[in-house]
Chains A and B, each alone.
Chain A
Amino acid sequence: MENVIELQNVNKAFKGFELKDLSISVKKGFVTGFIGGNGVGKSTTIKLILNLLQPDSGDVSVFGLNYKKHEKEIKQRIGFVFDHNVFYEHITLSDMKKIIKPAYKNWDDGIFHQYVNLFELPLKKSIKTFSKGMMMKASLAFALSHRAELIIMDEPTSGLDPIFRRELLDILHDIMQDGEKTIFFSTHITTDLDRIADYITFIHNGQHIFTKEHYKIEEDYAIVKGETNLLDRDTEQEFIGIRKSNHGFEALTTNKQRTANLFGDMVILEKPTLEDIMLYTKKGNDNYVKSYS
């Protein structure tokens, strides 16, 4: 399967934070959700993909092209949405269109006006009067009007009301129908991904934890619940993160089958949510923090 985005052994260090040997690939024609807590490197990764930052080492390629030689060509084919307003605030949407339109060869006024009507956006009001939801709709209209093959979004659903979040996901779902487009978006509202994501990429503390097909996660991962006396130094190795309480323990396993074979009927296995996986991975990294509830 063709990869649209490929990061290979990318390192990028800032003061107090670094991406370590990050290798990620995003498959063409699918929606990939990009998850991780706050400050683990999601935005940095997205900026690397958009060439807003250059890696200290490693390679970034988009559509199989690198930015050194094909910067404009790549950007022509990308639509971007950021979590905050990047448009000039003192001008109107129609003026903003005048600025963005000439940048793209494949700009289609018809599509733009179709979205503007669909989203009920005012063309003649200055952008600073827009609500958060309207800003997001405007960003989306711009991102979709030049027939981008790859749409990259940084936290597009944060700060939106539940109704518009649903609408947004429906729109993204519609866009995906022709099978030619690829969406890569970061979020920490993991329930959004249940509706739409085909793949999940998870990073933690600047490191790639996994990229899996969404349905596979439920097949591999499980939340394990059982009596605390089942835990010893060996069995604890089976789990990524463990939460112990007076009533027993709860832990996350990456190998459901193996855990089932090992503990048999002594434990209960439950479907994990993406949030569970994020939480336990963080706990695991923080060295099995105990909690007494």
Chain B
Amino acid sequence: MLNLIRKDIVLQKNSLLILLPALFIFLFLERSVIWVGVIFCFAIIMQSFALDEKPSANLLMNSLPYTRKEIVSSKYIGACVFTFLVLLTIVIGNLIIHREITQWDQLLFIASVIVVFISFAFPFSYLFKSQYLMMACGVLFVLYVVLVNTFIPDLGDRLRAGVQTILSFDNSLLYAGGILAAVLLYMFSWMLSIRIYSRKVF
């Protein structure tokens, strides 16, 4: 399993060498750490996923002495590793550029967003293909807009207010609950992906 994660890092070596320094530059220009962090994490994780989606890559991985369970699990653990790498870069970047220590709740927020996003993106991509992910996001967005305009005109405001309320809580119990929910979602998605992948035909 470790080998599979190492494989993803070897394959992403060049991208990481370009993307992580680019992240430094972004940090220098932009102060919105959350937005930049989420985008970078997602880009790296999905790129690594897309690389193994080709039939030939599946053929290779499944012919090597790995089980399908391990192949899927390596993607889920690998996603955590990549997220950690990006967060680490952000922390180091902020320390060097702005001489400040990044707030831990910001990092936690990025990680949570990624966890939730991956929980939906991976099973979806195993079932269909990651290239349809953008399409699905587009469709969902249109649906969202239609729903909002017809049924709940002030949904956006309500959501914003909701998020504000949650963020303004300074309650560690609430944080713990949120993290637990995200972890459970991730686990569920993990199991689901294993089920989907073990039935795949190459």
Measured CB to CB, the residues of A under 8 A from B are 47, 50-53, 71-73, 75-76, 78, 80, 82, 84-88, 91, 95, 98-100, 102-104
Query: Is B67 in contact with A84, judged by CB distance below 8 angstroms?
Result: no
B60 at the interface (CB under 8 A from A): yes
Which chain B residue lies CB-closest to A95? Answer: B10
Closest 4 CB pairs of A and B: A75-B65, A102-B3, A86-B60, A86-B56
Query: Is B10 in contact with A47, judged by CB distance below 8 angstroms?
Result: no
Which chain B residue lies CB-closest to A47? Answer: B202
Query: Is B201 in contact with A72, judged by CB distance below 8 angstroms?
Result: no
B141 at the interface (CB under 8 A from A): no
Query: Is B56 in contact with A84, judged by CB distance below 8 angstroms?
Result: yes
Q: How far is the CA of A168 from the CA of B3 in the complex (A)?
A: 31
Q: How far is the CA of A260 from the CA of B51 in the complex (A)?
A: 61
Output the residue of A53, A71, A87, A91 with the most chain B CB within 10 A.
A71
Which chain A residue lies CB-closest to B67? Answer: A71
Which chain B residue lies CB-closest to A103? Answer: B64
Which chain B residue lies CB-closest to A73? Answer: B65
* Partner among B3, B57, B66, B67 whose Cβ is within 8 Å of the Cβ of A88: B57
The number of chain B residues with a CB under 8 A from chain A is 19
B106 at the interface (CB under 8 A from A): no
Q: How far is the CA of A86 from the CA of B51 in the complex (A)?
A: 12
Given contacts A95-B10, A99-B7, contact A80 B201 (CB under 8 A): no
B6 at the interface (CB under 8 A from A): yes
In angstroms, how far is the closest chain B Cβ from the Cβ of A27? 22
Query: Is A51 in contact with B62, judged by CB distance below 8 angstroms?
Result: yes
Q: How far is the CA of A174 from the CA of B42 in the complex (A)?
A: 49
CB within 8 Å of A: which B38-81 residues: 51, 56-57, 59-60, 62-67
Given contacts A71-B65, A75-B65, 9 further A-B contacts (CB under 8 A): A51-B62, A52-B59, A72-B65, A76-B65, A80-B63, A85-B56, A86-B63, A88-B51, A103-B64
* Partner among B3, B59, B65, B201 whose Cβ is within 8 Å of the Cβ of A86: B59
Output the residue of B3, B11, B60, B201 with the most chain A CB within 10 A.
B60
Query: Is B11 in contact with A103, judged by CB distance below 8 angstroms?
Result: no
Which chain A residue lies CB-closest to B62? Answer: A52
Query: Is A87 in contact with B66, judged by CB distance below 8 angstroms?
Result: no
Query: Is B64 in contact with A91, judged by CB distance below 8 angstroms?
Result: no
In angstroms, how far is the closest chain B Cβ from the Cβ of A45? 14
Query: Is A104 in contact with B65, judged by CB distance below 8 angstroms?
Result: yes
Q: How far is the CA of A110 from the CA of B64 in the complex (A)?
A: 20
B51 proximity list for chain A (CB < 8 A): 88
Query: Is A91 in contact with B10, judged by CB distance below 8 angstroms?
Result: yes
B63 proximity list for chain A (CB < 8 A): 50, 52, 75, 78, 80, 86
Q: How far is the CA of A245 from the CA of B69 in the complex (A)?
A: 59
* Partner among A72, A82, A104 whose Cβ is within 8 Å of the Cβ of B59: A82
In angstroms, how far is the closest chain A Cβ from the Cβ of B73? 14
In angstroms, how far is the closest chain B Cβ from the Cβ of A207? 21
Query: Is B10 in contact with A87, judged by CB distance below 8 angstroms?
Result: no
Q: How far is the CA of A100 from the CA of B60 in the complex (A)?
A: 10
Q: Can you name 27 A-B residue pairings with CB atoms under 8 Å?
A: A50-B63, A51-B62, A52-B59, A53-B201, A71-B65, A71-B67, A75-B63, A75-B66, A78-B63, A80-B63, A84-B56, A85-B56, A86-B57, A86-B60, A86-B63, A87-B56, A88-B51, A91-B10, A91-B11, A98-B10, A99-B10, A99-B11, A102-B6, A103-B3, A103-B65, A103-B66, A104-B65
A103 proximity list for chain B (CB < 8 A): 3, 64-66
B57 proximity list for chain A (CB < 8 A): 86, 88
